[in-house]
C-alpha cells in the first residue's frame, strides 16, 4: 500500500472478495538522502526543491486506509537495498551513455522481490498491488496481460517479472478504469479518492532529472555535433540528456534539434532535425532477455508480435528475427523514433506480455 488511490482500492476489493488482507508499506527513499532539496538550482521548483520526499505523508495515508478497512499494517525499510539495486544502477547507466528505467527495476527487485519475501514470511499466499495489469493463474502457468484501461496500462513496468514472481501476484484493479477506481474509493469513504497520481522516479518522487543527476554525477563539458561531426555548440554532460530530447540544447535556430546519439567515450552529443533519418531506426538489438511467460521468448522467433520500447508508447508491429548468444535481433514494420539504449523493449502477443530485453 503506497498511500495512493490505486493500491488502496486494490486492498478494498480483495477484502470485499473475502480475502484476509494485510497492508504493507515500503520506505525506499527518505528525507535524509534528500537534504539537497532546499538548495535546488531550479527556482521554478519552489522551496521543496527537486524531490518531494514525501514518504512520511504517503505512509500516513496508507495507514489511514488500513485503519479504515480494519486491516493489519506493516512498514519495511528497504532504503539500503534500493540504493544498491536500483539507484546505483541508474547512475551507472546514465554515466555510460544509456537511459535506464528505474520503475521496471523497482518492480522486479523491490515490490516483487524483497517485499514479496516479507509477505511470504507473514504467511501470505499472494502479493497484490495497484498496477493496471491483469494476471491469470492455472496449472500450466501464470499469464500477464495489459490492463483494461489503455490509458493507464502498466504492464510495461512489469516486463521483468518471471513465472516464479508472477504466480504469487494479484492485480485487483487491472480490469477497471481509473474513473471507476476513484468512484469506488469515494463510495467507501477512502480519503485518498481524489489524491493525485504519483509521478517521477520510482519511490523518489517528482524530480527535475537534470538537477537530480547533476547533484550526483560530475558535469563534463563537451561538444554538440551534427551527424557530419560538425561542432554546433557545447553541453555540460552527455549523461544529462536522452535520445530524442529537444530541450536544454540551447542551439537556437528556426528548426529545433533533437539528440540522436550520446557518445560516452568522446563526451559528444549528436543531434539532428526532426526529419533526419538518424532519429529513426527500423531494428534494434536487445540483451538480457527475460521471460514472463511459461516458456521461452525464442519460441516466437519469426512470428508477428507487438512491442513497445518505452512506457505509454502504442504497441508496434515487430518480428524477432533471431536470438543468438543472448542477443535478440528485432525488426519493426515501421521505423521507430528515438530508440534509447538502456531502455527496455517489452514483447506482446495480442494483449499478453511475453518478456523483455534491454536495448543495446
Give catalytic residue positions: 106, 202
Cα–Cα distance, 87 to 103 (Å, whole number): 11
Place of cell 486494490: 10
| Exposed/middle/buried for residue 194 (C-beta within 10 Å: 0-12, 13-18, 19+) | exposed
Q: Is 140 helix (H, G, I), strand (E, B) or coil?
A: coil
Q: For residue 332, report the phi and psi dihedrals to the nearest 5 degrees.
A: -105, 150
Helical ranges in the chain per DSSP H? 5-16, 55-69, 79-82, 88-95, 102-105, 115-121, 163-166, 178-187, 209-214
Among residues 23, 27, 29, 203, which one has the least CA distance to residue 119? Answer: 23
Long-range contacts of residues 35-38, Cβ cutoff 8 Å, at least 24 apart: 36/215
Q: Are 309 and 334 in contact (CB under 8 A)?
A: no
Amino acid at each position: 500500500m503506497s498511500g495512493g488511490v490505486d493500491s488502496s482500492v486494490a486492498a478494498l476489493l480483495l477484502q470485499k472478495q473475502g480475502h484476509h488482507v494485510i497492508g504493507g508499506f515500503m520506505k525506499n527513499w527518505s528525507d535524509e538522502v534528500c537534504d539537497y532539496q532546499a538548495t535546488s538550482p531550479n527556482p521554478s521548483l519552489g522551496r521543496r526543491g527537486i524531490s518531494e520526499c514525501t514518504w512520511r505523508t504517503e505512509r500516513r495515508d496508507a495507514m489511514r486506509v488500513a485503519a479504515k478497512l480494519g486491516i493489519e499494517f506493516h512498514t519495511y525499510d528497504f532504503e539500503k537495498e534500493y540504493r544498491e539495486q536500483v539507484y546505483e544502477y541508474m547512475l551507472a547507466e546514465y554515466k555510460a551513455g544509456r537511459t535506464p528505467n528505474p520503475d521496471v527495476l523497482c518492480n522486479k527487485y523491490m515490490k516483487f522481490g524483497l517485499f514479496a519475501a516479507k509477505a511470504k514470511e507473514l504467511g501470505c499466499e499472494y502479493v497484490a498491488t495497484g498496477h493496471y495489469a491483469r494476471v491469470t493463474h492455472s496449472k500450466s502457468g501464470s499469464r500477464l496481460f495489459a490492463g483494461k484501461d489503455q490509458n493507464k496500462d502498466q504492464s510495461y513496468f512489469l516486463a521483468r517479472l518471471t513465472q516464479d514472481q508472477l504466480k504469487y501476484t494479484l492485480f485487483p484493479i487491472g480490469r477497471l478504469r481509473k474513473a471507476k477506481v476513484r468512484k469506488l474509493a469515494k463510495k467507501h469513504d477512502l480519503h485518498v479518492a481524489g489524491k493525485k497520481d504519483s509521478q517521477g522516479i520510482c519511490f523518489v518522487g517528482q524530480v527535475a532529472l537534470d538537477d537530480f543527476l547533476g547533484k550526483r554525477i560530475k558535469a563534463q563539458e563537451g561538444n554538440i555535433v551534427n551527424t557530419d561531426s560538425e561542432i554546433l555548440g557545447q553541453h555540460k554532460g552527455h549523461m544529462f540528456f536522452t535520445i530524442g530530447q529537444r530541450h536544454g540544447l540551447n542551439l537556437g535556430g528556426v528548426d529545433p534539434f533533437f539528440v540522436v546519439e550520446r557518445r560516452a567515450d568522446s563526451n559528444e552529443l549528436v543531434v539532428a532535425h526532426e526529419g533526419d533519418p538518424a532519429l529513426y531506426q527500423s531494428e534494434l538489438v536487445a540483451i538480457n532477455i527475460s521471460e514472463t511467460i511459461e516458456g521461452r521468448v525464442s519460441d516466437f522467433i519469426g512470428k508477428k508480435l507487438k512491442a513497445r520500447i518505452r512506457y505509454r508508447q502504442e504497441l508496434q508491429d515487430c518480428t524477432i528475427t533471431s536470438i543468438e548468444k543472448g542477443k535478440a535481433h528485432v525488426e519493426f514494420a515501421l521505423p521507430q523514433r528515438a530508440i534509447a539504449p538502456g531502455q527496455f523493449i517489452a514483447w506482446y502477443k495480442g494483449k499478453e506480455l511475453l518478456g523483455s530485453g534491454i536495448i543495446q
